[in-house]
Structures are given as structure tokens and as C-alpha cells.
Amino acid sequence: MKYLLFFTSMFVACISLQAQTTQEQADAIVLTHIQSVVTQPYTLYFNTNSPSENGIEITTMNAETVKMQYLCYAYCLVELPAENEPARCRYLFVKVNNANLLELITDGSNPNNPEQWKLMLGVADVMERTVLPYPNPVNDWITIPATGVRTFIEIYDIKGICVLSETLSEQNEYQLNISFLNAGIYMLKVYDETNNFNYKIIKN
């Protein structure tokens, strides 16, 4: 019985280790969330002190202290304000053991304690592009408009796993077959040497 309990404990421990959320998965979760709630240009920062076994403590732009007492990845998203509106910061926390997402919103323009943060992605507002990938929602084929430069695309599922990677031609729009994907929400990343765009797409 003791041996059975020991091996059962080891099995559960192994499952727990495998279930740990990686930073790449956390990044994808955050980007997917951002694309559904943010309509203005923004810059995204990642806290270099996270995750920590002791949790993480952050002072927001409102001088309020937020302390997470569990292992988590921490992000600060600085939204460029619309005319006559204050800048806002979104603080996003992705829990390591179950990928749960917590969001806090506060006034401000830069992350607190800049030395603790690194620029992770500078993502322009998707509306700055004259043509967006279409259709969306999509059944089997999605069209990626030509950008005039060598372009790369990647598609990530909700768990942050890359399910497709392609290099596109410079001049012609590209018909991308995604019929093999299961129905659900995915993140489409379109980037070249200078630009990086992320779109939430819905596969029917």
C-alpha cells in the first residue's frame, strides 16, 4: 500500500509539473486577451522578476500596492490615450499552475520601476493596417493581404502552442488553408523585420 501511495504521489507530481504554464503560453494568453479588449495602440512590458516562489509585489501608477502570493507571470500594458483622455495601464497576471488570468486597470503612462520590466512587444493598433486578414470568423481559408515585404505568419492556439508557421511572398496576397484546425479561438501573428501585428481569429 505504501508503494502504491508513493507511485501515485509521483504520478500526480509529474502531471503537475507537466501542467505548468510556460512563458510562451502565458504570452499567448495575454495577447489573445488583449486583442479582445484593447482598441488603441499599446506597448507591452514583461516583469523580469516574475515568476517568483514568494509571489510578486507591484506598485501601480496610482501608488497602490498589488501583491500576488502565488507564482505568476506579470505584464504591464501601456495604452496610448485617445484625445483628451488619460493614459491607462493594464496589469495582467497569468498564474503558473493553471493559466488563470487576472487583469487590473489603473491610470498611468509607464510601468513602475522600469528596471524590473523589459519591452516585450511593441504592438501597433491593428486598425493602422489598411486591410485586415479576412474572413473572420473563418471556415477553411483565410486571406493574408500583401505587405510589400517578406512576411512571416504564425498561428497559436489558446494554450500558446504554435500550430502553423509560414513565410509569405512580398507582393501577392496569401490564401492560408486552416481547415485542419479545430473550431475555437486562435492568435494569428503577422510580422516582418520592423512590424508585428496580432489578430484574434475565430475558426468555425
With cut-offs at 50, 70 and 90, classify the pLDDT of residue 155.
very high
Indicate the fold that domain 128-203 takes in CATH.
Immunoglobulin-like (2.60.40)
What phi, psi does 59 have (nearest 5°)? -100, 120
* CA 60 – CA 38 distance, rounded (Å): 19
For 73, 82, 96, 203, the CA distances from 40, given in Å and listed in that order, are 23, 8, 28, 24
Does the structure show a pLDDT above 80 at 62? no
Say whether pLDDT at 143 is over 80. Answer: yes
**Is 177:140 a contact under the CB 8 Å cutoff?**
yes
Residue owning grid cell 512571416: 152
What pTM was computed for the model?
A: 0.54
Q: Tally Cβ neighbours within 10 Å of residue 53.
A: 6
- Write the CA distances from 176 to 39, 144, 179, 203, integer angstroms: 26, 7, 9, 13
pLDDT digits (tens, 9 = 90+) for 93-109: 999 988 899 988 887 66
Q: Report the chain's C-alpha Rg in angstroms.
A: 20
CB 91 within 8 A of CB 74: yes
Q: Domain spans of the chain?
A: 23-123, 128-203
Distance, CA of 137 to CA of 115 (rounded, Å): 40
At residue 93, the pLDDT reads 93
| pLDDT digits 0-9 by tens, 177-189 | 999 999 988 888 8
Query: Is residue 199 very low, low, confident or very high in pLDDT (cuts 50, 70, 90)?
Result: confident
Q: How many helices (H) and strands (E) does the chain have?
A: 2, 13
